[in-house]
Amino acid sequence: MNTDAFIIAAEIVLIAGIICNMIRMWRKNKKQTQLLSLQRDRIREEKLDAMLKNHAGEKHGASGELSDTPYDVNYHEEDTDVYEEGESYISVQAEVKSVLSTRKYVLHVYDHAEIGREEGSRIVLNDSETAEKQIQLIRTQNDLFAKNLYPQIGAELKRGKNTYPLTKEAVRIHSKDVILVGKTAIKLTLL
């Protein structure tokens, strides 16, 4: 009986040691994950600062004055597993002005990017007068095109003082073009 008690005590000590080791490993992994997340955030912020530094002095608003609407800057880091290293893309700064806010995005368009109310869109619009997938940006070689995926809801392309209807036919985007859809204006600047 004394040996049975000794074996049980040894098993308990062994199990306790294994549990302590598992807890220590879990804490170590959690700390490494947090450090990795902080490094990614820092790298993302550095990339955003670098991409936006040349555009910091630009005026905002149709009249050329600074807009009173608050800014929310978003940087969409690409999923590196999806694209091959060295694959080309076009960088676009999108300034999205809606009734309540103005948001800036920096996008890397590898082949295409959707804009609309759908959560999976690269730019999610908070505008009930737009479709879930409203606009598609398409990259071909070194050019960027846009088309209206849901022409039942009208969209327009404003280039300088001229405004053109945006249809299912892809239209080449020039830097500073503005897409008007619903109550939202999306200014596209090629970087």
Is a pLDDT exceeding 50 seen at residue 2?
yes
pTM over 0.75: no
Q: Which helix (H) or strand (E) holds 151?
A: none
Instruction: Tell me which amino acid residue 143 is.
Output: D
Which tops the pLDDT comparison, 57 or 25? 25
Closest CA to 138 of 164, 110, 180, 106: 110
Among the residue ranges 18-27, 78-87, 100-109, 147-156, the one predicted with the least confidence is: 78-87
The CA-based dihedral angle spanning residues 178, 181, 186, 191, taken in that order and rounded to the nearest 10 degrees: -60
**pLDDT score, position 48:** 67
**pLDDT score, position 63:** 38
